[in-house]
Structure 1
Amino acid sequence: MARLFGTDGVRGKANVDLTAELALDLSVAAAHVLGEAGVFDARPTAIVGRDPRASGEFLEAAVIAGLASAGVDVVRVGIVPTPALAFLVNNADADLGVMLSASHNPMPDNGIKFFSRGGVKLDDALEDAIEQRMGEDWQRPTGASVGRVTTDLGAVEAYVAHLVSSLGADSSLEGLKVVLDCANGASSMTAVAAFETQGAQVIAIHHDPDGLNINENCGSTHMGDVRRAVVEHGADLGLAFDGDADRCLAVDAQGNDIDGDQILAILALTLKEEHKLASDTVVATIMSNLGFVNAMRERGIRVDQTKVGDRYVLESMNANGFVLGGEQSGHVIMSEFATTGDGVLTGLHLAARMARTGKSAAELASVMTRLPQVLVNVTNVDKSRAGIDPEINAAVAKANHALGTSGRVVLRPSGTEPLVRVMVEAGTTEEARRVADELAALVKQRVSL
């Protein structure tokens, strides 16, 4: 049986894979496992938030019911970004946080992410323990021992104040015109307020969520509208968030994309100049472009590469005392201010770097040269078999040998979607495309459902 938890919580199509019953059972099991692990106080408190998608309404109700039935007091904070939920758990010294979101996934999907005290994601061992406890008989509290439920829809204001304070008292974004694509998601409640508080002129697009339009042809997975808006309005910078605002991608004044690797490079150099980059090291994943690794090496910065997933980036940061890490997809973790990836925080610090230096986004992004990279998603395959199939492994090894030091292949099953990703970097786009297509065809042939 496949593991229930993926690289970023439990995800699936809402009311098909991710049902109210599953959400309730998961919440009860989480309460028991974390309580027995010594995470909880005698009377534990959980904070529950969600992104705007419609299915979050019934899943939120199920999670709250499960926690309260297990004796956990619950504070419902409504629609908030995932990093806001993590911040609120830490800020309130709560015992548990639960976020209902499928991040960048389409609207019909949803997900459940658990945060422990301090606003940190659970490790694999705790997730496995929760999965094993689901459906077990348990002693139910009664009377005054059941959990109580309260609502605090104003908690997000404390998060926005935290974002603004992270820039420092003398930091201003006055003079910058910024387009913000909120993906009709949770950043609609935070991003505009944060940037306007710092003096930026803001043009907001896709900031009117109705429960059905989250990530629909907008946000960090569909950059066309933010590119057009930047050029149309003569903006200095465009920022695109995903549905739960834990990632951020950018666009320069000419409408050219600035990906997560480039943003990470800009922030790494900023921290190094300020003597704040611990061990002169930045953490990235195996999917980061070789151009990023080369640029960092040339400037005396080491890159510690992990498995894909911001949780693994964070694990390395916590274990080694590193302060900056991220992914090409736009997840960036600045541990001085956040315990998880935070798109709005990232965008604010990128804009602040522009304001302080007087440099354009394009100038800052030119610190690295991206090698041509092609990513092919292979659907309708058994992703659990792709990494162990001997013919696929042999083909990947052969391709890596042929590319040599000027390229590489990474083939991996997605942790959040039912597909296999084939990523190829090479000296030219044409060569990368040829190799990627050949490997994708082989994956389709060997492990097709």
Structure 2
Amino acid sequence: MNAVTGHVPAEGAERVPPPEGLKRWSTGQKLGLAALPLVGLSAWALAHNSGTAPPAAPPPATVTAASPLVRPITEWDEYSGRFEASRAVEVRPRVSGQIVGVHFRDGAVVRAGQLLFTIDPRPFAAALAEARASVAGARSDLALANAELGRSERLVANGFVSRADIDRLRAKVQAAQAELVAAQARVRARELDMSFTQVRAPITGRVSDRRIDPGNLVGGGATGGEATLLTTINALDPLYFAFDASEALYLKAKRSRAQGAAGAPVEIRLQDETGYRWHGRLDFTDNGLDTRSGTIRLRAVVANAGQFLAPGMFGNLRLSTGAAVPALLVPDAAVTTDQARKLVTVVDGAGNLSPRPVVTGPLIDGLRVIRSGLNPNERVVIAGAQLAMPGMKVKVQPGRIAAVAPPSVAAPASAPPAGAATFATR
């Protein structure tokens, strides 16, 4: 009997000697080696008889898919700039003298014509009285000259007065008339000086603080260069928003409006605001570009009825470049990046996944604009894409894409069509 296989050779058959290494094994080792096939067979039989099945394949992954949201959007270009007063005035005196009264509160809103400062009027009142006295004297001289000319004209016919005397008397009358006109002009000048002792607000707006207190002497002047600065006034409603645009954005906006876009509405947000709550309209574009910076200066008019805005404030402005156009929007989380490409995962009717290269646009309300590469009737995976690989078959759960406008964004003065979305290019 063979110790390894347990086979008993037939009678008369040639016996095969065991391997050399096997000759050194003990009888127990040889019996254990012979029992190995039986142990393996017994284990297989035990597992087969117990009914344990091999592991089953995992179920297909579940993903949520939805068609892209189709909405009209209005494209905007973003700029940075600052608010400016629509009108700004430096208040300076027209006459010199001592300040005897300040009639406003620092930082208050003043109306055009409101009294701000009073300059001591007494020297100007005396000068006005002197001018009026000169008028009375000129009238008296003119009356005397007219009387002398009248008497001489009655005597010239009898030869008692020569023609030369008559000419001299007429010249005297004309000189008296001229002196009267000059005296009357001096009166009007002194009246103006008297009125200039009351410094009034030339425009309606918010006044700054007073730069001169009562009791100080101020210098006046017609040109204002040498006159003392008393205060400043800024008109705050409306305000200007000034900003610079690059040549590329200027050309883009110019061509869009040339193709039929109506108007140029603007929306502005301040540093601490998330929405564009201030609205206005572009009213000025400079007549040329700055060759050093390649930019052009533009200005928008913004209503400021509550006077919350102030000159010098920084803001971000977006300028509409055209009318509302339909666009496809998907959640920004559904867009992935593959090196230099933007991809979305689409699923077909059989539940197969496939990546789709797309060209993306700006972000609006958490949704990304898809400019090209996607059809409105295709389904985009919006959740669960990380559980499946492209090419796999998945179970599709229907979803819905919706955009909610931020609560801080107010409706613009010239709002887009109902249901339209707005965004700023980046």
Question: One fold, TM greater than 0.5?
Answer: no
Rg (Cα) greater in structure: 2
Higher RCO (Cα < 8 Å, 6 or more apart): 2
TM-score bucket of the superposed structures, by smaller chain: under 0.3
What TM-score comes out, normalization by structure 1 length?
A: 0.17
| More strand as a share of residues | 2
| More helix as a share of residues | 1
What TM-score comes out, normalization by structure 2 length?
A: 0.18
